[in-house]
Amino acid sequence: MSTTGVAEESIHQGIVPGYLLARLARSSQFTHAAEAARQTLIKGRPEYRATLELSVDSNGDLIADVQAAPSRTIYDTHNTEQLPGDRVRGEDDPAVEDAAVNQAFDGLGDTFRMLLGAFQRDSLDGGGAPLTATVHYGEKYDNAFWNGSQMVFGDGDGEVFTGFTGSVTVIGHELGHGVIQTTAALEYQGQSGALNESCADVFGALTEQYTKDQSVDQASWLIGEGIFTPAVQGRALRDMLHPGTAYDDDELGKDPQPADMSHYVRTTEDNGGVHINSGIPNRAFALAATAIGGKAWETAGLVWYRTLTGGLSATADFTEFAQATITAAADIGASVETAVRDAWIAVGVVEGGVIKDASADRAPE
């Protein structure tokens, strides 16, 4: 499924994968959450903004510095499904009493600042597009998603999932889909779809790390940390550095993400395993970033960003993406190229230093 030129109702790139919701829907322990999961499974260019900073130089001349700034609007559907809902906070409005509104507002700003500070990208489209989000979507809706034009947050069921606005990695991930949509437009199927999900995870992780000013060694590399309640045996939805270890719960099962190509999952579910097999490129990014060291957005993130914006095909598979990242890394330096190549070797996309043909590993279309 392409994410370009599609009516917004047809796009639901949710943070919680369908296979996890399907497992939860059959739960006998979490009966309240099981009903919420079943209901969740059933559902499915404006003015730009800038800041003007004025200062006086040593000669007494007035200096005007125009900088990009976010243009955020938060809506509330009051647990209906009528998007976008009622406007509850805009860019120049103060914080409100509703924590979900303020968390969404702050998370959109965090993602905007990461994109601008790390990649000099002015919003999702690079041209200052406004950022819109809706909170309190649906009744006990167990997901957050990007619908092609805005973010949408459910409140969770309270038994397994909490509200989704509290995780900056969730917000950065979903807005990352907007960046991907306006750059490589990776098709949401098979390996290109897994790359779409993985790159969104990269944006989610970078948003958290940039906001907290973390080095790669300080980072958790978790996506969706904190959205499970204490009743669940799990740390997050995904672990980029250690795929397959994010949760292991009697009711929800074990995190199914593979860490390398030898465990690649061939399936027709989940759009050909887009949320499952994304663990492989996720680990490649985390390994490359930790090998390079420092702040992930400064080097490894820049390599991935240049790959997305450098003419990558919409149907790129893991091998094409790996080659593109290695080429982008070489433009930065030999040590960066080595780190990126070694990361792809570790996950089995590159063998013996040579890019392999992964056509046999592709999930059925």
Q: CA triplet 319, 295, 193: central angle to 5 degrees? A: 30
Tell me: cis bond preceding 256? Omega within 30 of 0 counts.
no
- What single letter denotes the amino acid at residue 204? G
User: Is the backbone of residue 333 left (phi > 0), alpha (psi -120 to 50) or beta?
Assistant: left
Residue 275 a catalytic site member: yes
Distance CA 349, CA 3 (A): 25
Distance CA 159, CA 36 (A): 10
Catalytic residue selected from 136, 173, 177, 275: 275
Q: Which residues of 262-273 are buried (b: 16+ CB within 10 A; e: fewer)?
A: ebbbebeebbbb
As beta bridge partners, residue 243 has none
Catalytic residue selected from 174, 208, 320, 337: 174
Residue 174 a catalytic site member: yes
The DSSP code sequence of 22-56 is: HHHHT-SS-HHHHHHHHHHHH-------EEEEEEE
- Token pair 């190509």: residue: 261
Active centre residues (catalytic) = 174, 275
